Amino acid sequence: MIRIEGFTKKYGEKTAVQNFNLHVEKGDIFGFIGPNGAGKTTTIRFLATLLKPTAGEGWINNFSVIHAPMDVRRSMGYMPDSFGVYEGMRVWEYLDFFAAAYNIKRDKRKKIIRDVIELLDLTNKKDDFVEGLSRGMKQRLCLAKTLVHDPAVLILDEPASGLDPRARHYIKELLKELQKMGKTIFISSHILSELADCCNKIGIIEQGVLLAAGEIKKIMGQIRESMILEIEMLEPNPRLEIILWDQPGVKNVEPMGQVTRVEFVGDIREIPQIHKTLIEKGIDILFFREHPADLEEVFMKVTKGEVA
Ligand SMILES: Nc1ncnc2c1ncn2[C@@H]1O[C@H](COP(=O)(O)OP(=O)(O)OP(=O)(O)O)[C@@H](O)[C@H]1O
Ligand SMILES: [Mg+2]
């Protein structure tokens, strides 16, 4: 759905992005992660047909970003990292303006605008002036704008930046909803945990170089040498720690009240046996689960060059 080959962008002497290759498939939510100045916006603007590359090619929906930019624009909804100035325009007029720009006929525009306003929960703001909206509402409106021509691909440059936790949660839920509708989503952020539970793939970029990309679970797996298991009981039980130390692959045991954390470095196939042993030895387990890797930790490791 999205393909980039050999994308390089230089600004004078400075290389902003170097030989970037990526493949995002239909239905993916791809999280594009990197610190400030890493090259996220540069890559996104290239995909959005707004930036001429120094070298390389890109395709969206099988249309070339360079040779068929109009087809690319029709296939894609792009949300830039900054919201423009739209003075004296009401919410519905703003959406109507963009829908008209996509050559959607007037009679069809009405229904589309009603639908996206409803989807983005902006119904009671539809007659408000755009410049009077809060930041969160503006981001929502900007996202609504990317949907008016029903594109197959959404390219969102930090859609949740500067939003409060509730608004960020709302955007995440919305992305999942859009994925269910069959959209392919490319979303950038420097807030790592923000992307952890809504993306199935991630790419990590630093200083213009894509350091790692692929299934989120795979990348986490490559990076972590060990797995953390959490065992929760109704009441703390000191016997648990003693039993755990005797199990294969257990590197560390950390009792934390009702919850005990176990650092496990063995073969994953040994885990069911540990579970069984605990039950046989009379430990009343409330929950037995993996403690998910922290994306922040993954990111720090990758950008420190620990993983190629
Ligand atoms: N128009 C430009 N002229 C010169 N240098 C630029 C230009 N645009 C970007 N750069 C440089 O290219 C590099 C990548 O910038 P880019 O905006 O793509 O980063 P980013 O990952 O989006 O960062 P942020 O998280 O701050 O948005 C930076 O070093 C930046 O200074
Ligand atoms: Mg940026």
Secondary structure of 193-254 as H, E, C letters:
HHHHCCCCEEEEEECCEEEEEEEHHHHHHHHCCCEEEEEEECCCCHHHHHHHHCCCCEEEEE
Residues 14-69: tens digit of each pLDDT: 999 999 999 999 999 999 988 889 999 999 999 999 999 999 999 999 999 999 99
**Ligand 1 atom nearest 45 alpha carbon:** 18
Co-location of 96 and 189 in the same domain: yes
Please report which confidence band the pLDDT of residue 166 belongs to, taking 50, 70 and 90 as the band edges: confident
Please report which confidence band the pLDDT of residue 302 belongs to, taking 50, 70 and 90 as the band edges: low
Pocket test for ligand 1, best of 8, 42, 81, 155 (most atoms within 8 A of CB): 42
Q: What percent of the chain has a predicted confidence (pLDDT) above 70?
A: 92
Please report which confidence band the pLDDT of residue 303 belongs to, taking 50, 70 and 90 as the band edges: low
**Mean pLDDT of all residues in 142-154:** 94
The reply to whether 67 falls in a domain is yes
Co-location of 202 and 231 in the same domain: no
Q: Is the CB of 42 under 6 A from ligand 1?
A: yes
Rounded to the nearest angstrom, the distance between the alpha carbon of 196 and the centre of ligand 2 is 19
Indicate which CATH number applies to the domain containing 179. Answer: 3.40.50.300
What single letter denotes the amino acid at residue 308? A
Under 8 Å between Cβ of 104 and 148: yes
Co-location of 157 and 120 in the same domain: yes
Give nearest CA residue, ligand 1 atom 31.
Answer: 37
Co-location of 206 and 232 in the same domain: no
**The two structure tokens encoding residue 262:** 């176990």
Residues 212-222: tens digit of each pLDDT: 899 987 776 66
pLDDT of the residue at 231: 96
Co-location of 144 and 193 in the same domain: yes
Co-location of 49 and 71 in the same domain: yes
Q: Which one of the ligands is nearest to 42 CA?
A: 1
Q: Is the CB of 16 under 6 A from ligand 1?
A: yes
* Cα–Cα distances in angstroms (integers) from residue 287 to residues 9, 228, 261, in the given order: 50, 14, 12
Co-location of 111 and 233 in the same domain: no
Given a cut of 80, whether residue 292 has pLDDT beyond it is no
The reply to whether 305 falls in a domain is no
The reply to whether 249 falls in a domain is yes
Co-location of 244 and 145 in the same domain: no
The reply to whether 300 falls in a domain is no
Q: Is the CB of 210 under 6 A from ligand 1?
A: no
CB-proximal residues (5 Å) to ion ligand 2: 40-41, 81
Please tell me the least confidently modeled range out of 50-64, 135-149, 219-233, 279-293: 219-233
* Residue 250 to residue 222: CA distance in whole angstroms: 19
216, 249, 266 - which closes a domain: 216
Indicate which CATH number applies to the domain containing 286. Answer: 3.30.70.100
State which residues form the domain around 250. Answer: 225-292
How many domains are contained in the chain? 2
Q: Is the CB of 189 under 6 A from ligand 1?
A: no
> Strands, DSSP E only, in the chain?
2-11, 14-24, 29-33, 55-60, 63-64, 76-79, 153-157, 184-189, 201-206, 209-215, 227-233, 250-256, 259-264, 285-290
Rounded to the nearest angstrom, the distance between the alpha carbon of 238 and the centre of ligand 2 is 50
The reply to whether 238 falls in a domain is yes
Q: Is the CB of 37 under 6 A from ligand 1?
A: yes
Q: Which one of the ligands is nearest to 40 CA?
A: 1
**Mean pLDDT of all residues in 86-100:** 92
Give nearest CA residue, ligand 1 atom 25.
Answer: 36
Please tell me the least confidently modeled range out of 181-195, 226-240, 264-278: 181-195
pTM of the complete model: 0.79
Co-location of 208 and 243 in the same domain: no
Mean pLDDT in the chain? 89
pLDDT of the residue at 308: 43
The reply to whether 280 falls in a domain is yes
Co-location of 152 and 285 in the same domain: no
Q: Is the CB of 11 under 6 A from ligand 1?
A: yes
Co-location of 21 and 101 in the same domain: yes
